[in-house]
């Protein structure tokens, strides 16, 4: 048997799992203030949900999906992202009746068959929001601000991050622009890689994302959608920027930002960090997808959202020297002087836990000295020492770990005394 986790996956050991819980808790608190409610969708969907939603010509759908047939020969796919699933669920359950707005957030694992490297996994964790039904540009600015405020709230310094924004246009202006880019690619075909040449026919805008230096140089002078936006998209984009200015969110207009999913219309954005991540420097991103619900056969329903990557966010926090708060495993340790009081210690630990105190005790027959050491390792603020003499008097000894002060406390007063001691 191979006892290693599959390539591109990682066990979330307690320190990382604690960070995940901290990041999700912080998200829950902040997102609630913006009106978001939780949603959970299945980890796998009918393959079509992603193929049609994200787009057949994207890297995600063409190369990266974990697709399999179930026992009844249905084609299913592990979710590579959350947006398509949320929109599918919103359509199935009429979550957004005409004229209403639904705001939901999710947190969980996503799956993409990518080449693993620092900050790039095959199973990775995302936290995301989707705001469905709102077409006004203030909604775009609100979602962008929410992502920015979240990172700020985690303690990532603003100077370590860049918020890139762009507009992808809509069905009125993008088709002509796509044709212009395809034409441009064909005219410079000899200088571009094979894949970019192919993209002229499949997905020309993806050529802006090619990492090969020669392609990047050619694409640097390609036509920009900014110059070809229709009046409505142009006005929408201008108002989004005005609203961001209003909130003092600093952003960089990046006219070559195209993102890797085909459902986007109008606003797209991405937060990149300058230090600690190398090439996988996008810690979060999102945008508007006003046609996605229709793509699934539903009513025209605007939508927008973002997702942030847990692993990359954590790397960005580490690079900035931000620590995840680590609560002590135990606030109190109950130690026994000898085995004659083992049952009393066991019962006392339970009483303290019932009273709301994080409590630990020994289950390995450690000596009293070793129990004290263990209490220190677990971060306990106090040790309750239980011995036969104390027991006979209906008391225990309460020792403050920092001041080393010891007091005898009657059993009935112990819980109160512990609460006073640990604050």
**Binding interface with ligand HAM (CB under 6 A):** 81-83, 112, 114, 119-121, 124, 126, 128, 130, 260-261, 282-287, 305-309, 311-312
CB of 120 to ligand HAM, least distance (A): 4
Closest to ligand HAM by CB, 151 or 333: 151
Closest to ligand HAM by CB, 119 or 387: 119
> Which residue sits closest to ligand HAM, CB atoms considered?
309
Closest to ligand HAM by CB, 126 or 167: 126
CB of 61 to ligand HAM, least distance (A): 12
CB of 72 to ligand HAM, least distance (A): 28
Q: How many CB atoms lie within 10 A of CB 180?
A: 17
Closest to ligand HAM by CB, 108 or 379: 108
CB of 142 to ligand HAM, least distance (A): 13
Closest to ligand HAM by CB, 258 or 283: 283
Per the CB < 8 A criterion, the answer to whether 121 and 10 are in contact is: yes
Per the CB < 8 A criterion, the answer to whether 90 and 96 are in contact is: yes
* Residue of 266, 236, 234, 272 lying closest to 252 (CA atoms): 272
Which of the 8 DSSP states describes residue 255?
T
CB of 286 to ligand HAM, least distance (A): 4
Closest to ligand HAM by CB, 10 or 358: 10
Closest to ligand HAM by CB, 121 or 317: 121
CB of 56 to ligand HAM, least distance (A): 16
Strands 44-46 and 265-273: unpaired
Interatomic CA distance for residues 178 and 281, integer angstroms: 27
Closest to ligand HAM by CB, 52 or 312: 312
CB of 199 to ligand HAM, least distance (A): 18
CB of 349 to ligand HAM, least distance (A): 41
Interatomic CA distance for residues 271 and 240, integer angstroms: 16
Which of the 8 DSSP states describes residue 340?
G
* Residue of 372, 368, 321 lying closest to 340 (CA atoms): 368
* Residue of 41, 128, 122, 44 lying closest to 79 (CA atoms): 44
DSSP secondary structure of 193-225: -HHHHHHHHH-GGGGGG---HHHHHHHTTS--G
- Which residues, 6 or more positions from 1, have their beta carbon under 8 angstroms from its beta carbon? none
Return contacts of 289-292, CB within 8 angstroms, 24+ apart. Answer: 289/83, 289/87, 289/263, 289/264, 289/265, 290/135, 290/170, 290/265, 290/266, 291/171, 291/263, 291/265, 292/53, 292/83, 292/84, 292/87, 292/263
CB of 283 to ligand HAM, least distance (A): 5
Closest to ligand HAM by CB, 135 or 228: 135
């Amino acid at each position: 048997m191979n006892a290693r986790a599959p390539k591109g996956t990682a066990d979330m050991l307690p320190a990382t799992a604690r960070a995940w819980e901290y990041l999700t808790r912080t998200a829950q608190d902040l997102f609630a203030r913006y009106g978001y409610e939780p949603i959970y969708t299945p980890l796998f969907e009918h393959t079509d949900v992603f193929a049609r939603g994200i787009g057949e010509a994207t890297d995600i759908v063409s190369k990266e999906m974990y697709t399999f047939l179930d026992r009844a020969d249905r084609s299913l796919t592990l979710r590579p992202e959350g947006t398509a699933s949320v929109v599918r669920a919103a359509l199935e359950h009429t979550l957004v009746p005409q004229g209403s707005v639904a705001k939901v957030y999710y947190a969980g694992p996503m799956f993409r068959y990518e080449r693993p490297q620092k900050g790039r996994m095959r199973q990775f964790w995302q936290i995301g929001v989707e705001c469905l039904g709102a077409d006004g540009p203030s909604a775009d600015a609100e979602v962008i601000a929410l992502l920015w405020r979240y990172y700020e709230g985690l303690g990532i310094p603003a100077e370590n991050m860049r918020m890139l924004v762009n507009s992808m246009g809509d069905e009125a202006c993008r088709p002509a622009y796509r044709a212009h880019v395809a034409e441009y690619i064909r005219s410079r075909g000899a200088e571009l890689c094979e894949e970019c040449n192919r993209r002229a026919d499949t997905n020309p805008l993806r050529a802006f994302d090619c990492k090969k230096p020669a392609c990047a140089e050619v694409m640097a002078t390609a036509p920009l959608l900014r110059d070809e936006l229709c009046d409505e998209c142009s006005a929408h984009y201008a108002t989004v920027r005005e609203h961001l200015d209003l909130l003092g969110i600093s952003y960089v207009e990046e006219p070559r930002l195209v993102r890797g999913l085909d459902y986007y219309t109008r606003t797209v954005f991405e937060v990149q960090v300058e230090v600690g991540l190398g090439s996988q420097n996008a810690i979060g991103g999102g945008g508007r997808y006003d046609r996605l619900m229709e793509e699934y056969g539903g009513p025209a329903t605007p939508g927008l959202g973002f997702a942030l990557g847990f692993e990359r966010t954590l790397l960005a926090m580490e690079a900035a020297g931000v620590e995840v708060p680590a609560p002590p495993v135990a606030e109190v340790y109950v130690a026994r002087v000898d085995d004659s009081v083992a049952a009393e210690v066991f019962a006392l630990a339970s009483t303290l836990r019932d009273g709301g105190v994080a409590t630990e005790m020994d289950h390995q027959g450690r000596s009293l000295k070793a129990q004290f050491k263990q209490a220190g390792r677990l971060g306990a603020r106090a040790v309750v020492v239980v011995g036969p003499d104390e027991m006979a008097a209906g008391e225990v000894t309460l020792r403050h770990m920092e001041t080393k002060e010891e007091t005898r406390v009657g059993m009935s007063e112990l819980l109160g005394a512990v609460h006073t001691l640990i604050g």
